[in-house]
A and B are shown apart, each in its own frame.
Chain A
Amino acid sequence: MPASPSYRTDALIADDIDAYLELHRRKSLLRFITCGSVDDGKSTLIGRLLYDSKMIFDDQLAVLEADSRRNGTQGGGIDFALLVDGLAAEREQGITIDVAYRFFATEKRKFIVADTPGHEQYTRNMVTGASTADLAVILIDARKGVLTQTRRHSYLAHLLGIRNLVLAVNKMDLIGYDRHAYDAIVADYAAFAASIGIESFVPMPISGLAGDNIATRSANMLWYDGPCLIEHLETVPLDVVSEQAMPFRMPVQMVKRPDPNFRGFSGLIAAGSVRPGDRVRVLPSGRETRVSRIVTFDGDLPLAVAGQSVTLTLADEVDCSRGDVLAAASAPPQTADQFEATIVWMSDEPMLPGRSYLLKLAAQTVSAQIQAPKYQVNVNTMAEMPARTLELNAIGVANLFTDRPLVFEPYVESRTLGGFILIDKISNATVAAGLLHFALRRASNVHWQALEVDRAAHAALKNQQPRVLWFTGLSGAGKSTIANLVEKKLHAAGRHTFLLDGDNIRHGLCRDLGFTDADRVENIRRVGEVARLMADAGLIVLTAFISPFRAERRMVRELMAPGEFVEIHVDTPLAEAERRDVKGLYAKARRGELHNFTGIDSPYEPPERAEITVDTSGMTAEEAAEMIVARLFA
């Protein structure tokens, strides 16, 4: 292995540590991502960067040498790739299963490298790594040229808003440092890059294994007159600097009230700069005021810029809480509740259009429903394909609706105010990442109509409190029978009621829906909305739907006023429901003539805390109805 100069001057450290520290105090920070598979020499390149910058110590090197002899692929030589394969499970399988972060520094900059693996989990991991990167190094094996995965990596880096791309044509040593082969690869890539809207990229011929054009320009390729990799990484302009030139934005993370005389708003400045006296607007409320002070532990500041965490005090007592955004009054961001967005699905459970997910954007957390995708993007060909849902690692474009307005900017203008995650309300897992494109015009034009005869007025005239009695349970459990009896009793008592029955609804309102998970979710969403309108009209609504998923029942519950939604679990064991089989459906499902049948090949998630549970093996339908009426209307 040729000797490679280190990126730091040991002489200066030894001779004048104070001068060295002064130099290092002013280093800037660049975050980048390396894209490529094991075959492209990605781990070797990262290992090389760490090794050359002396981030590897002797004891680690000793382990590495032992590991290289045991598991290495370099015939006893040092296998740099082993340096960055973190978890024992991965080392045994020879794959990297996740995003890992590596660190090294030169005289000018500190670097954080997101290292993502190249196998099938790639999209999820690469999107994660790219979300915080200023720059992407796209690795190509010089022997193979531009491959499908090169296109995929480039598309994802571009999608995530990385403007600085390096095309590192690796393993030049294996093709005899051939300039023509290199030029052909670069021309090939340039044509592709232009086709997906990549405006510029920096190509360079390298060898991670041999160290060519990594820390110094290679003597083996005098025909190349561009920068070596480190040189480029040290000088490329930082996003955090260009962000300072944009209008001021600070999402409020927390409000500090240590005593009655102090009210400060804390957050990390996402864009622009701020000074005491600047006019700012509080969004979404739209109130304007001025910044009084920029408060920090180290004293008040005259100026703060993008990338700093600060606490601002304001001149007026304006309403402002976590999730609000403080913005330049002259150029505030928009507010909307309907969007088009790119969604990257990251969960084993596919996306369910219509299901309500939590959406977190900056410090705002709201409920959001995603519509069925307009299309899915094939990340290898960039072709748009029709899709009804999105599965793990799929990328699609869809509309989404939030239950409250979001302060936002298109992702291409702001990663902070345009990038979001989706969280499953039951499992609490992060299931997707999203990039906002724009607000749908409908959102700003369709306002809630303020009605003068409101729901309280409707209910008062009927002299009753609106309720939604939501019967849930297996097919054949007795939901419709019991709901019918309850309605008869209420009607006889002079109550204004309405029964929505699963089978009847599917003949009309929901006749376009089938029985896939996605369609079941949409079915319940529609029923929930209708039930809400009826409750607004002052009615006692009864519904009888299998409604197998907790998430949807919870979604409907959240539509209603507190206390209005009453979940009634008609609890009949599967064996008993199947024995009754009133409609002959279980027999059909067992014969395989009916698919997605709840209890047979589609799950039923029983309620965890139903207001009322009816055990049909212990009472008749009549007794159950009496019990429900007694519990609710006594």
Chain B
Amino acid sequence: MSVQAVRVEPSPVSLSHLQRLEADSIHIMQEVMAEAERPVMLYSVGKDSAVMLHLARKAFHPAPPPFPLLHVDTTWKFQEMYRMRDRMAAESGMELLVHRNPDAMARGINPFDHGALHTDLWKTEGLKQALDLHGFDAAFGGARRDEEKSRAKERIFSFRSANHRWDPKTQRPELWRLYNARKNKGESVRVFPLSNWTELDIWQYIQLESIPIVPLYFAAPRLTVERDGMLLMVDDERFRLLPDEVPVERSIRFRTLGCYPLTGAVESTAATLPEVIQEMLLTTTSERQGRAIDKDATASMEKKKQEGYF
């Protein structure tokens, strides 16, 4: 006599918004892997990069992600960022490529003397150089649509011409979960798997998954100066003090991380993840407010993107 197994249909499993965002991001990464010839992951060491890297490790488990990490370095990042970068590369088992624009290096381009040129040469030009140098045809980036208005209309698969320009008017429609990854000769594609994540989603996911992030996101006493309404951290001896400036120790943290002389800190006592999220939720300014780059003009980001900024 045999016993017929009766399968009791379970009540529906309720997937949380984070589980669904995670699944969609993994789907996007696997599509790129299947369709691109030479993908790379742009790794800026910030919290979004941390989440993106974590998702990549999930997407390709049990193997390490089958592409390198690329850090477009400006030589002016916070020291703690360099430490975190090297640690995460080792932990993930991925190859780490670091590109520093040799032209910017030779000309001694720095944030103190060169203003906007610093970002243009080290980041925008540096990125183009690195992609061309290695022949990468698909680059993952951690940009989110909620960051900035022009991002809200950018596709998840965002094509760049052979000279890396973005044309918002010829974007391909993206329907369902169908991504057309086919490229014309010389074209490359930037892929944004975090497109539909918000800042709150990122923080909650970091907490839920215990993802390591640079300690600068948490408040601690640090040496600072106040300049042009921004709190800047004196991260190393290269920081040029103005004649009457004296570094002051303040309890600060950062909402975004970039080149330390260009990244504004906020005064804060939030030293744990829940406290940081609490502060984020109760704050009244957006995270890009700490970046000097967006203040140039209303549509500055859109313009930079058309020129090839990530």
Binding site for B on A (CB under 8 A): 8, 10, 13-14, 17-18, 20-21, 24-29, 55, 57-60, 63, 67, 84-89, 91, 97-103, 105, 109-110, 112, 124-125, 127-128, 131-132, 240-241, 244-245, 253-254, 256, 258, 262, 264, 266-268, 273, 295-298, 303, 305, 307-309, 311, 322, 346, 358, 360-363, 415-416, 419-421, 423, 427-430, 433
Residues of B within 8 Å of A264, CB to CB, are 62
The verdict on B220 contacting chain A, using a C-beta distance below 8 Å, is no
Which residues of A are found within 8 Å of B63, using beta-carbon distances? Answer: 256, 258
Asked if A419 contacts B176 (CB within 8 A), the reply is yes
Interfacial chain B residues near A309, Cβ < 8 Å: 22-24, 26-27, 30, 59
Residues of A within 8 A of B163 (CB): none
Q: How far is the CB of A362 from chain B (nearest CB, A)?
A: 8
CB of B299 within 8 A of CB of A244, answer no
Interface size class of chain B, counting residues whose CB lies under 8 Å from the partner chain: 35 or more
- Give the docked Cα–Cα distance between A558 and B190 (Å): 31
Beyond A14-B278, A295-B62, 11 additional pairs, beta carbon < 8 A: A13-B278, A14-B282, A28-B16, A88-B302, A97-B169, A105-B200, A124-B173, A240-B15, A303-B13, A307-B19, A429-B180
Which of B283-305 touch A at CB < 8 Å?
283-286, 289, 298-299, 302-303
| Cβ contacts under 8 Å, A21 to chain B | 204, 207, 274, 277
How far, in Å, is B50 (CB) from chain A's closest CB?
Answer: 15
Complex Cα distance, B207 from A21, in Å, reads 10
24 CB contacts below 8 A, A to B, read: A17-B277, A29-B20, A59-B289, A67-B298, A84-B152, A101-B153, A103-B146, A103-B196, A105-B198, A132-B175, A240-B20, A254-B33, A266-B59, A267-B30, A268-B27, A295-B61, A307-B15, A307-B20, A307-B23, A309-B59, A360-B178, A360-B180, A428-B182, A430-B173
Residues of A within 8 A of B57 (CB): 297
Nearest 4 Cβ contacts at the A-B interface:
A88-B299, A258-B63, A29-B17, A309-B26
Asked if A87 and B168 sit within 8 Å, CB to CB, the answer is yes
CB-CB under 8 A from B173, the residues of chain A are 99, 124-125, 127-128, 346, 421, 430, 433
Residue-by-residue, is B163-194 near A (CB-CB < 8 Å gives 1, otherwise 0)? 00000110111111110101110000000000
Task: Let me know if A88 and B208 touch, CB within 8 A.
Answer: no
Residue-wise, chain B 126-160 has the 8 Å CB interface mask toward A (1 for contact) of 00000000000000000001100110110000000
Name B282's closest neighbour in chain A (CB-CB).
A13
Q: Which of B84-107 contact A (CB under 8 A)?
A: none
Least CB separation from B280: chain A residue? A13
User: Are B177's CB and A416's CB within 8 A?
Assistant: yes
- A421 & B26 in contact (Cβ 8 Å cutoff): no
A254 lies within 8 A of B30 (CB): yes
- Would you give the 0/1 interface string for B1-45, flagging 1 where the beta carbon is closer than 8 Å to chain A? 000000001101111111111111011001101100000000000
* Chain A residues, Cβ within 8 Å of B200: 24, 105
Residues on A with beta carbons closer than 8 Å to the beta carbon of B18: 25
List of A residues within 8 angstroms of B196 by Cβ: 101, 103, 112
B16 and A25 contact, CB distance less than 8 A: yes
- Which residues of A sit under 8 angstroms from B33, Cβ to Cβ? 254
Q: How far is the CB of A220 from chain B (nearest CB, A)?
A: 30
| A266 and B30 form a contact (CB under 8 A) | yes
B60 on interface, CB distance cutoff 8 Å:
yes
Contacts A87-B302, A268-B27, A307-B20; is A419 near B152 (CB within 8 Å)?
no
Q: Are B286 and A296 in contact (CB under 8 A)?
A: no
Report the Cα distance A26→B204, complex, angstroms: 11
Among B152, B175, B302, which residue has its beta carbon within 8 angstroms of that of A131? B175
By beta carbon, the residue of chain A nearest B303 is: A88
Query: Are the CB atoms of A17 and B201 closer together than 8 Å?
Result: no
Known: A28-B15, A103-B196, A309-B26. A322 touches B34 (CB 8 A): yes
A478–B152 Cα gap in the complex (Å)? 55
**A57-B284, A57-B285, A58-B284 are known contacts. Are A86 and B152 too (CB-CB below 8 A)?**
yes
Nearest CB in chain A: distance from B207 CB, A: 7
Tell me, yes or no, whether B241 is within 8 Å of chain A by CB.
Answer: no
Q: How far, in whole Å, are A383 and B301 apart by their CA atoms in the complex?
A: 45
Main secondary structure of the interface of B (DSSP, over half): helix
Q: How far is the CA of A1 from the CA of B263 in the complex (A)?
A: 36
In the complex, what distance in Å separates the CA atom of A427 from the CA atom of B10? 48
Which residues of B from 195 to 232 have beta carbons under 8 Å from A? 195-196, 198, 200-201, 204, 207-208
Tell me which residues across on chain A come within 8 A of B61, comparing CB atoms: 295-297, 311
Please give the distance in Å from B182's CB to the nearest CB on chain A. 4
CA–CA, A295 and B146, complex, Å: 32
Asked if A57 and B289 sit within 8 Å, CB to CB, the answer is yes
Q: Does B236 contact A (CB under 8 A)?
A: no
Bound Cα distance A91, B302 (Å) = 12
Q: What A residues does B250 contact at CB under 8 A?
A: none
CB distance from A419 to the nearest CB of B (A): 5
A267: chain B residues within 8 A (beta carbon): 27, 30
Cα A241 to Cα B145 in complex, Å, equals 26
Quick check: A419 and B178 within 8 Å, CB to CB? yes
CA A219 to CA B168, docked complex, whole Å: 43
Closest residue of chain B to A13 (Cβ to Cβ) is: B281
A97 nearest CB neighbor, chain B only: B169
- Which residue of A63, A244, A346, A416 contacts B176 across the interface (Cβ within 8 Å)? A416
A245 to B12, CA, bound (A): 8
Chain B residue numbers with a CB within 8 Å of A85 are: 149
A128 to B179, CA, bound (A): 12
Expressed in whole angstroms, the minimum distance between the Cβ of B23 and any Cβ of chain A is 4
Contacting residues, chain A, for B175 (C-beta < 8 A): 127-128, 131-132, 419, 421, 433
Is the beta-carbon distance between B17 and A110 smaller than 8 angstroms?
A: yes
Q: How far is A253 from B219 in the complex, measured between Cα atoms in Å?
A: 42
Cα of A132 to Cα of B177 in the assembled complex, Å: 8
Chain B, 258-285, CB within 8 A of any chain A CB: 274-275, 277-278, 281-285
Contacts A57-B285, A308-B19; is A128 near B13 (CB within 8 Å)? no
In the bound complex, residues from chain A placing their C-beta under 8 Å from that of B10 are: 273, 303
Which B residues are CB-close (under 8 A) to A112? Answer: 196
**CB pair B178 A253 closer than 8 Å:** no
Task: Tell me, rounded to whole Å, the shortest Cβ–Cβ distance linking B299 to chain A.
Answer: 4
Contact A57 B286, beta carbon cutoff 8 Å: yes
- How far apart are the CA atoms of A101 and B299 in the complex, in Å? 18
Q: In the complex, A125→B57 CA distance in Å?
A: 34
Q: How many angstroms from the CA of A25 to the CA of B9 in the assembled complex?
A: 26
A361 CB to nearest B CB, Å: 8
Q: Which of A13, A91, A100, A421 contacts B153 (CB 8 A)?
A: A100
Q: Which chain A residue shows the least CB distance to B272?
A: A17
> By the criterion CB–CB under 8 Å, are A103 and B145 in contact?
yes
CB-based contact A98/B168 at 8 Å: yes
- Are B299 and A18 in contact (CB-based, < 8 A)? no
Q: A57-B289, A311-B61 are in contact. Are A244 and B275 (CB under 8 A)?
A: no
